[in-house]
Amino acid sequence: MPHEVAIYGVLVPGLLPVFLGCLLLMVLLDMVVGRLGLYRQVWHPSLFRLALFVCLFGAAGLLLIR
């Protein structure tokens, strides 16, 4: 994926679609984990979710943007 993508002639950082994709992924993950009740196993669910999101976004950003 390039560093900048053109959307209708407007250059936006390539990280933006990655960010949105990660948000979507996070919502899906939340749905699955929420149904299974797994967040009860961690000490601070919101911190855990933020950390999980940072991991997802960091990994996706590093791997996808060349």
Out of 5, 25, 30, 52, the residue judged to bind other proteins by CB under 8 A: 30
* Least Å from the CB of residue 64 to other proteins: 21
Q: What residues contact residue 18 under an 8 Å CB cut-off, 6+ apart? A: 1, 57, 60, 61, 64, 65
Stretch that binds other proteins, among 1-9, 37-45, 56-64 (CB under 8 A): 37-45
Using CB under 8 A as the criterion, which residues of the chain lie in contact with other proteins when the complex forms?
Answer: 30-31, 33-37, 39-40, 44-47, 49-50
